[in-house]
Structure 1
């Protein structure tokens, strides 16, 4: 699966789950044990507020702290819609993925950044679904693609604080379940 197709599938799944969150579900727990549904969505919205800036070549200093803290305000769904309205086209802009972006880990190829954002959308979409008790389906082709791309990298990220330790799943587990288990989730 090509990058932008994977990004779009992850985006669509995350978007649909955010739209399903009921008012009383924003405080529900998620597989990210320190985060509520609102916290997960706030994280993703913040990342997508950063994306257009980074894809245009902005430095971290230029962006500053404008996307720190609560970026959802009183309208979490609207905040997501506004962030996505700028972020999604930024990823699709001609040549946007051929350059370098500045991240907290240093300069990174834009396509690698886009793959990481795709993984973030896919996994946090699942987190939101689990948190609100919605359908936890993940496109199997997308899950296979992400597992192939990140499966060998994820163990190197253990201990970074980005996710919990991997969990065991049966050898017959689906690509989705293997991906989620590598990222510390219990599918």
Structure 2
């Protein structure tokens, strides 16, 4: 399996992101929980509610019971509708209730994933998928949402964190068969992205942000062809 050969399992990266976020949330006061985030219309409470509902989904994948999630409400096949529904369901809860749910669910899920072989197959809404790669997807989601909320990352952790996020972002673009070419410039911290009409060189930070749908188009170009190229990279979250 190419992804696992390139990346290995993402469980260690997921553990680090989870531990950092959990420590930050455990010490959060009401003001922090109500603080706005980079996610439109979501405060910190809402983002954690979203993460809790994501772990609910992961629990159902482990049990091969994805369809039973319909008991929470019908969202068709629309992931965004699922997110909106589950955030709304958790808005009446206290901050600590949302935190407790997220902790309980992620503790259960991540322990099971940790005990599985990296190439063990999970049932997902997109079909069978290797648990080691799913760990990368969730680690990436946790990292992005931690940044959305403003969770501090110690200086000594930043280089390693960026390295794995960059490597996984490259893999994610290739996995989705996005019609672009990627040319990593080793030793420079940059990557060139091109298609049949445009070419752009991004820093590793910009590339990760673009793939995670967090790079403002106007921050890199006003050229409509290059903006369309950047939009093609939006494959995560």
Q: Identify whether the pair has TM-score above 0.5, normalized to the shorter chain.
A: yes
Question: Hey, what's the Cα distance between the residues in 1 that align with 2:213 and 2:112?
Answer: 30
Task: State the Cα RMSD in Å.
Answer: 3.2
Counterpart residue number, 2:212? 183
Is the aligned partner of 1:61 residue 2:82?
A: no
Report the TM-score when normalising by structure 1: 0.72
Structure 1: gaps spanning 5 or more residues: 159-169
Greater relative contact order (Cα < 8 A, sep 6+): 1
Please report how far the alpha carbon of residue 63 of structure 1 lies from its aligned counterpart in structure 2 after TM superposition.
Answer: 4.0
Question: Does structure 2 retain, via aligned residues, the 8 Å contact 1:55–1:110?
Answer: no
Q: Which segment is superposed worse, 114-123 or 31-40?
A: 31-40
Counterpart residue number, 2:14? 7
3-state secondary structure, aligned to 2:53:
helix
Distance 1:123 1:93, change over 3 A: same
Task: Find 1:98's aligned residue among 119, 122, 135.
Answer: 119
Post-superposition, which runs of at least 4 consecutive aligned residues in structure 1 deviate over 6 A?
Answer: none
Question: Does structure 1 retain, via aligned residues, the 8 Å contact 2:33–2:43?
Answer: yes
Report the TM-score when normalising by structure 2: 0.58
Question: Hey, what's the Cα distance between the residues in 2 that align with 1:107 and 1:185?
Answer: 28
Residue deviations 1:48-93, cap 9 Å, x none? 123233234x131144444962347222222222222212212212
Question: Hey, what's the Cα distance between the residues in 2 that align with 1:2 and 1:106?
Answer: 19
Task: Find 1:17's aligned residue among 1, 16, 24.
Answer: 24
Distance 1:107 1:10, change over 3 A: same
Question: Does structure 1 retain, via aligned residues, the 8 Å contact 2:60–2:66?
Answer: no
Highest Rg: 1 or 2?
Answer: 2
In the alignment of these two chains, the number of paired residues is 169
Counterpart residue number, 2:100? 78
